[in-house]
């Protein structure tokens, strides 16, 4: 698996695509991020999957870190389990709404949420900022429901309320039973969100500096306590989400520089409305990534089972 940092990728692509003009260095970074987004969202290439594990599930839900988009496969206490879509509990032939009071036995997709941990008891919100990020001209816009389950609006009757970033610790003037969306400005340091119930704060999220609309993927699994026999009660194999590289040391994913070069050139030709050349360069980028995947796969095989009329089945192996 090829890995590279933003600094290395920018240096390589800057020299090969935009030589001799330092003014283009920042635009090369943007081009790299644009190329990475297209590539990572087009397939499961080398370096675009990762593992996320959970020692317990006290709330009945697991929430993936921001850098992961979806669970591809999972094990509960070492046993492989299925992953169901968000419509599973709504199907007419399905089980209906499943309780989280005990383990369900598999994962059910719940979509995206702005919080890492949901609010269980209504309370006011508290945001913790680094002093560097205190700015009385900037706001965090919070959308959600009050203690009665009604939509919270501002004084103009518009959904959502602003919380001004005027101190290192700021509190909302409203009580929230649920947060549905958050819009925040980019900051230099992470922002921590808490819910305060009867003066007791509980952390519900930590948003990275570059995040402006937080979104975490959540799955319903039912409550699972810590287990000495299984220190990791849930193991997941996940697809990585595109996250723009900002710092020089940030990893660029996919990290294959030759594929990135082809993708950056493809975007360049798209901007020039030369779709024929753009498609040729995209094909070369995907070809390079496919070749890399074959090499990474080594001697392993993927078995695909086909079913024909009459129930006859045939298995074919792919390398």
Q: pLDDT tens digit string along 234-290?
A: 999 999 999 999 888 999 999 999 999 999 999 989 999 999 999 999 999 999 999
Comparison of pLDDT for 313 and 28, the residue scoring more: 28
Give residue 198's pLDDT.
95
How would DSSP label each residue in 64-126? --TTEEEEEEEEETTEEE-EE-TTGGG-TTS--SPPSSS--SSEEEEEEES-SS--SS-EEEE
Q: Which of 45, 31, 38, 35 is nearest to 3 (CA)?
A: 45
If you average pLDDT over residues 1-20, what whole number do you get? 77
Give residue 78's pLDDT.
96
Q: Name which of 54-68, 82-96, 118-132, 304-318 the model is least confident about.
A: 304-318
For the chain, the average pLDDT equals: 91
| Confidence band of 94 (pLDDT split at 50, 70, 90) | confident
With a CB cutoff of 8 Å and minimum separation 6, the contacts of 172 are 124, 125, 126, 142, 161, 163
Is the predicted pLDDT of residue 157 greater than 60, yes or no? yes
Token pair listed for 96: 């209906």
If you average pLDDT over residues 59-87, what whole number do you get? 96
If you average pLDDT over residues 166-183, what whole number do you get? 97
If you average pLDDT over residues 18-30, what whole number do you get? 67
Give residue 238's pLDDT.
97
Give residue 10's pLDDT.
86
Give residue 27's pLDDT.
78
DSSP three-state, residue 285: helix
| Confidence band of 226 (pLDDT split at 50, 70, 90) | very high
Distances (CA, A) of 26 to 21, 31, 50, 93: 11, 9, 29, 54
Rounded Cα–Cα distance for residues 164 and 170 (Å): 8
Give residue 107's pLDDT.
98
Q: Name which of 64-68, 149-153, 217-221, 304-308 the model is least confident about.
A: 304-308
Give residue 228's pLDDT.
93
């Amino acid at each position: 698996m090829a890995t590279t940092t933003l600094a290395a990728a920018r240096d390589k692509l800057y020299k090969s695509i935009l030589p001799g003009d330092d003014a283009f260095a920042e635009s090369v970074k943007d081009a790299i991020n644009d190329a990475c987004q297209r590539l990572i969202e087009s397939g499961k290439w080398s370096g675009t999957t990762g593992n996320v594990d959970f020692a317990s599930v006290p709330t009945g839900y697991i929430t993936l870190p921001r850098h992961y988009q979806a669970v591809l496969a999972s094990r509960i206490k070492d046993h492989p389990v299925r992953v169901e879509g968000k419509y599973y509990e709504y199907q007419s032939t399905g089980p209906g709404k499943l309780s989280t009071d005990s383990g369900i036995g598999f994962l059910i997709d719940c979509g995206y949420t702005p919080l890492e941990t949901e609010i269980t008891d209504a309370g006011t919100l508290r945001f913790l900022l680094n002093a560097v990020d205190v700015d009385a001209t900037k706001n965090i816009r919070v959308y959600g429901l009050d203690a009665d389950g009604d939509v919270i609006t501002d004084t103009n009757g518009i959904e959502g309320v602003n919380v001004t970033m005027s101190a290192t610790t700021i509190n909302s003037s409203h009580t929230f039973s649920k947060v549905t969306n958050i819009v925040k400005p980019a900051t230099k340091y992470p922002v921590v969100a808490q819910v305060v119930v009867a003066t007791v704060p509980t952390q519900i999220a930590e948003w990275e500096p570059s995040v402006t609309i937080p979104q975490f993927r959540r799955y319903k699994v039912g409550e699972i306590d810590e287990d000495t026999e299984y220190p990791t009660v849930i193991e997941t194999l996940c697809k990585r989400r595109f996250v723009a590289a900002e710092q020089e040391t940030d990893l660029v994913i996919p990290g294959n520089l030759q594929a990135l070069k082809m993708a950056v050139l493809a975007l360049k030709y798209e901007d020039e409305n030369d779709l024929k050349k753009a498609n040729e360069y995209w094909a070369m980028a995907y070809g390079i990534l496919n070749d890399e995947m074959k090499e990474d796969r080594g001697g392993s095989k993927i078995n695909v089972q086909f079913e024909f009329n009459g129930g006859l089945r045939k298995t074919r192996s792919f390398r």
